[in-house]
Amino acid sequence: MQTIKVAIAGFGGVGRTTATLLLQRRERYRQVYGVDVRLVAVCGSRAGLADANGLELSQLDELQPTLSGPEFISSSGAEVLIEAGPSDFRTGGPGLAYLRAALSAGQDCIVISKGALVHSGPQLRELAQASGAILKLSGAAAAALPTLDLLEHSLAGCQVLAVEGILNATTNYLLDAMRTQGLDFAAALREARGGGFAEADTRNDTEGWDTACKLLLLANFGLGADLTMDDLEVEGIHSITAQRIDAWKSQGLVPRLIGSLTRVDGTIRASVGIKTYPLSDPFAQVNGKNKAIRISSDAMGETIAIGCGEEPLATAAAALKDFEHILLARATRPAFMVEHSA
């Protein structure tokens, strides 16, 4: 049986959950894909662990200091790297060095953190193309909500005309709270923090940057665009008053923070801002921490997906969906052979 060696760089909540899920699914990988999957290395920013025979769940709490960094991962012999480190789109974050090294060496990469992809997406894409590595990023592009899947797989062959997405769960939760409970932004934020639905610093969410990052990934990796963050118009929800919320409510409209892609003269334009929807639109019913995407195409009309899932499990599952797609792509399958027998 073929052995597939996997490493995980970035070992916070999502990285650990991904490791656990990967180990739990080893029997599935044997049965469905005929491969023996080994987790040969994991590391956070300051500690890690490696074992060429494969780590077991019980070892994951015994990380050793200094075992970290691209060379540590490279020396593990991993064929697939899952990158789940902290995300920083202004610098690329620690993921950038891991991904550059892995893709240059032809290792397939599954990316969960957005930073490196937003900062240097086209460069990483080129490194992958040059080495023949597969670069997947479902976990970074809205996790359990299928977005890139729809663009690449379900709409294969169609020309995508426009995309709009509710891509950030925190802002969607806040807008819902403002609308249904008549709160202003500050009060909704206090309420969300009290319930554990928002982090201490939510500016990345509420100013629209998280949505913008995901949108950029959809544009560059789903539609082959070549955008940088400077190309996006980004507006958040922090300046929305209770009065505006009331006015929309009286008109039967529901506000959502929307990332939009449109095709203008053959190029992709991207923007983030508030749009309102009538109650009859499925986007009006994407409540709480759900996310959604609507894709308009030439041949299939409008396709909408809505989803979320519990974190960090859903994001780990999205990354391991990418892993199965890599296993499938790497499975050698005979090319068309009927011609010879006809």
Binding footprint of a second copy, residue count (CB under 8 A): 72
Residue choice 12, 20, 25, 249 for contact with a second copy (CB under 8 A): 25
Q: Is 23 in the site for a second copy (CB under 8 A)?
A: no
Q: Is 337 in the site for a second copy (CB under 8 A)?
A: yes
CA 157/CA 293 separation, integer angstroms: 19
What is the CB-side half-sphere exposure of residue 273 using CA atoms within 13 A?
A: 8
Which of these, 43, 3, 38, 7, lies nearest to 23 by C-alpha position? Answer: 38
Give the contact letters, 52-91, x = binds to a second copy (CB under 8 A), - = no. Answer: ----------------------x--xxxx-----------
Strand partners, 128: none
Residue choice 21, 47, 187, 242 for contact with a second copy (CB under 8 A): 21
Q: Is 28 in the site for a second copy (CB under 8 A)?
A: yes
Q: How far is the CB of 135 from a second copy (least distance, A)?
A: 14
Q: Is 279 in the site for a second copy (CB under 8 A)?
A: yes
Q: How far is the CB of 168 from a second copy (least distance, A)?
A: 17
Coil, helix or strand at residue 134: coil
Contacts of 340 (CB under 8 A, 6+ apart): none
Q: Is 47 in the site for a second copy (CB under 8 A)?
A: no
Tokens 């960094």 sit on residue: 69
Task: Confirm if 141 and 132 have CB atoms less than 8 A apart.
Answer: no
Cβ closer to a second copy: 187 or 313?
A: 313
Q: How far is the CB of 48 from a second copy (least distance, A)?
A: 17
Amino acid present at 82:
I
Q: How far is the CB of 152 from a second copy (least distance, A)?
A: 9
CA 243/CA 246 separation, integer angstroms: 5
